[in-house]
């Protein structure tokens, strides 16, 4: 079966926003899709890997003429791709070479909060270097790293502080997936930007409390990219790295593709689709089989009707590899008896956004959950169906499973582990949430301006046998 639906409420698509900015073709000659290099460790042993991740200023040639001033991680814009191996100990120097306080948030990584997690309580001041150590403990997945200083996350991400993070493990390694990085396994970071005078970004000019947008699609930092296909199958690791934009993806000829993974890792079985909608911060891995095309053909990836990437087909070795019907088992532990159902209610739009009727306060812990417990969370979007918007809800410190949408089955591609879930206006999505590590963690809408605007709260995952106190930053002291 091939699904041909975006699954979400059409009436809530961002295209209906008054402030919606459609993507427009840019006046740039086709360029090869930038493939971020893999970050080389400073040192590595059988058990331990050491990295330096530096937030830096740079200049990027997006358009002909003047270069654009940008920020990135070990790169002028976006980041070098970081690969973690499950089970290894990782040691990272986090170096801040941008002229403002920043933080290094590992979105989707199973680490303790709030410091290693890198949310707003873990500032690294300009010119300083922090250090974190953790053990990688989760299945193979496509994650990301982004800045998270509250309330300046949106602006720093807009400047470029975002990069892809891959977790590898032995389970994924045995599955018949393409995994030759940059050849048939490619990162695809979807963003949109506006270029102002002299080709510069101007976040303040593009600021919108419902999320900055721009008319130019920028994919891995490339405008009008093409990718040379030299294998029959290509795996895309898609990340919606935009502040607000939704991407409704489809290919030339409605070519179907197999979705094999979601935010937190591989799906229990491949899901065949010819439409895929992604909201801010979500990831999806898909495999496209180009066997029906021949050398000289072009297959285009679109969002709505805007072309994003042209896949130029070259000759390739035919392969006869079918994906198995079953990929991995997703643990589905029972809810811990006697626990209550947590609520996360996202309300409002524009400056009015709130979570559970409140604006975010860095010093307030809004909820608690015992480490190891499995508890239900009901996540509600109270926007009106008419004129309301989708809110992509994200939790730090956990990979959850989706139980239901308004009491019905989740979408077919939501049966894996997730950390971000789009919620329709008027909908309640029930999640099963487990924290494996103690800490204070944020949960919020991932339209980044909504998170900066206060549609965010925090939870303490606690161990009753080891009570902890946390030093929580205050916005005023930043």
- Residue 457 CA to residue 328 CA, distance in Å, equals 33
Pick out residues in 312-341 that bind ligand C2O (CB under 6 A): none
Under the binding rule (CB under 6 A), the answer on residue 281 touching ligand C2O is yes
Segment near ligand C2O (CB under 6 A), from 27-35, 46-54, 427-435, 439-447? 439-447
Helices (H), 234-285: none
Dihedral sign for Cα atoms in the order 327, 333, 334, 338: negative
Which residue's CB comes closest to ligand C2O?
107
Q: Which segment (70-78, 167-175, 180-188, 438-446) binds ligand C2O by CB under 6 A? A: 438-446
- Does position 430 bind ligand C2O by CB under 6 A? no
Tell me how far apart the alpha carbons of residues 295 and 231 are, in angstroms, rounded to a whole number. 11
For the bound state, the minimum distance from the C-beta of residue 397 to ligand C2O, rounded and expressed in Å, comes to 10
Do 280 and 232 meet the contact criterion of CB atoms below 8 Å apart? no
Are β-strands 89-96 and 48-60 bridged in parallel, bridged antiparallel, or unpaired?
Answer: parallel
Token digits of residue 48: 């331990």
> Residue 271 or residue 473: which is nearer to Cu ion going by CB?
473
Run of H or E residues at 238: strand 233-240
Q: Does 450 bind Cu ion (CB under 5 A)?
A: yes
CB 23 within 8 A of CB 217: yes
| Interface with ligand C2O (CB under 6 A), residue from 394, 405, 430, 450 | 394
Q: Are strands 367-370 and 456-462 parallel, antiparallel or unpaired?
A: parallel
- Interatomic CA distance for residues 60 and 53, integer angstroms: 19
Smallest distance, ligand C2O to C-beta of residue 447, A? 11
Asked if residue 429 binds ligand C2O (CB under 6 A), the reply is: no
H helices of 160-239, in order, are: 170-173, 203-206
List the single partner that 447 binds among ligand C2O, Cu ion, none, CB under 5 to 8 Å by kind.
Cu ion
Q: Does 245 bind ligand C2O (CB under 6 A)?
A: no
Task: Rank residues 80 and 103 by Cβ distance to ligand C2O and give the closer one.
Answer: 103
Contact pattern for Cu ion over residues 383 through 402, marking x by CB under 5 A: --------x----x------
Q: Which of 95, 121, 146, 405 binds ligand C2O (CB under 6 A)?
A: 146
**Which residue do the tokens 């459609």 mark?**
22
Interface with Cu ion, residue 107, by CB under 5 A: yes
| 45 touches 3 (CB < 8 A) | no
Residue 198 CB, nearest distance to Cu ion (Å)? 32
Degrees to nearest 5, angle at CA 111 with 108 and 117:
75
Strands lying side by side in the sheet with 82-85: 82-85, 162-168, 141-146, 105-107
> Which of 214-222, 367-375, 421-429, 442-450 is the region at the interface with ligand C2O (rule: CB under 6 A)?
442-450
Least Å from the CB of residue 120 to ligand C2O:
8
Selection from Cu ion, ligand C2O, none that 159 binds (CB < 5 to 8 A by kind) is: none
Which neighbouring-strand residues pair with 284?
A: 238
Among 107, 269, 283, 430, binds ligand C2O (CB under 6 A): 107
Q: What CA–CA distance (Å, rounded) separates 434 from 426? A: 25
391 binds, among Cu ion, ligand C2O, none (CB under 5 to 8 A by kind): Cu ion
The answer to whether residue 244 forms part of the interface with Cu ion (CB under 5 A) is: no
* 199 DSSP β-pair partners: none
The C-alpha atoms of residue 49 and residue 34 are separated, in whole angstroms, by: 26
CB contact at 8 A, 280 and 300:
no
Residue 442: name its binding partner from Cu ion, ligand C2O, none (Cβ under 5 to 8 Å by kind).
Answer: ligand C2O
* Least Cβ distance, residue 146 to ligand C2O (angstroms): 6
Among 140, 442, 455, 461, binds ligand C2O (CB under 6 A): 442
Q: Which residues contact Cu ion (rule: CB under 5 A)?
A: 107, 391, 396, 445, 447, 450
Q: Which residues contact ligand C2O (rule: CB under 6 A)?
A: 105, 107, 119, 146, 148, 281, 394, 396, 442, 444, 446
């Amino acid at each position: 079966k091939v699904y041909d639906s975006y699954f979400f409420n059409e009436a809530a698509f961002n295209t209906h926003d008054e402030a919606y900015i459609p993507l427009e073709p840019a006046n740039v000659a086709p360029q090869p899709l930038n493939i971020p290099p893999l970050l080389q460790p400073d040192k590595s042993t059988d058990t331990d890997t050491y990295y330096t991740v530096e937030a830096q200023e740079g200049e990027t040639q997006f358009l002909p003429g003047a270069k654009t001033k940008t920020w990135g991680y070990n790169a002028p814009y976006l980041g070098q791709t970081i690969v973690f191996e499950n089970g290894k100990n990782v040691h990272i120097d986090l170096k801040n070479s941008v002229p403002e306080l920043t933080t290094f948030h590992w979105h989707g990584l199973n680490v303790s909060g709030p410091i290693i997690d890198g949310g707003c309580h873990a500032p690294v001041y300009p010119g300083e270097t922090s250090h974190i150590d953790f053990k990688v403990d989760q299945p193979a997945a496509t994650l990301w790293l982004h800045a998270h200083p509250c309330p300046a996350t949106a602006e720093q991400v807009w400047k470029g502080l975002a990069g892809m993070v891959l977790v590898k493990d032995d389970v994924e390694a045995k599955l018949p997936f393409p995994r030759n990085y940059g050849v048939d396994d490619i990162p695809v970071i979807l963003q949109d930007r506006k270029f102002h005078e002299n080709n510069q970004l101007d976040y303040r000019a593009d600021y919108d409390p419902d999320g900055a947008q721009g008319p130019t699609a920028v994919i891995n930092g490339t405008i009008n990219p093409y990718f040379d296909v030299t294998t029959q199958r290509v795996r895309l690791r898609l990340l919606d790295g935009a502040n607000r934009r939704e991407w409704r993806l489809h290919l030339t000829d409605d070519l179907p593709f197999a979705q094999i993974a979601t935010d937190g890792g591989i799906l229990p079985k491949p899901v065949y689709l010819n439409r895929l909608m992604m909201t801010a911060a979500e990831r999806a891995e898909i495999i496209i089989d180009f066997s029906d095309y021949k050398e000289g053909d072009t297959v285009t990836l679109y969002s709505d009707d805007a072309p994003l990437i042209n896949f130029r087909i070259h000759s390739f070795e035919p392969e006869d590899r079918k994906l198995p019907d079953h990929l991995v088992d997703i643990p589905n532990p029972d809810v811990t008896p006697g626990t209550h159902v947590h609520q996360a209610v996202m309300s409002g739009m524009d400056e009015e956004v709130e979570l559970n009727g409140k604006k975010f306060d860095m010093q307030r812990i809004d909820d608690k959950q015992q480490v190891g417990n499995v508890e239900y969370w009901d996540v509600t979007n109270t926007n009106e169906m008419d004129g309301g918007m989708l809110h992509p809800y994200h939790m730090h410190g956990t990979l959850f499973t989706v139980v239901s949408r308004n009491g019905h089955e989740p979408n077919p591609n939501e049966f894996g582990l997730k950390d971000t879930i789009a919620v329709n206006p008027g909908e309640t999505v029930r999640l099963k949430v487990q924290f494996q590590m103690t800490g204070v963690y944020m949960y919020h809408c991932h339209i980044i301006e909504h998170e900066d605007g206060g549609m965010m709260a925090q939870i303490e995952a606690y161990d009753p046998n080891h009570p902890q106190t946390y030093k929580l930053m205050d916005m005023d002291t930043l």
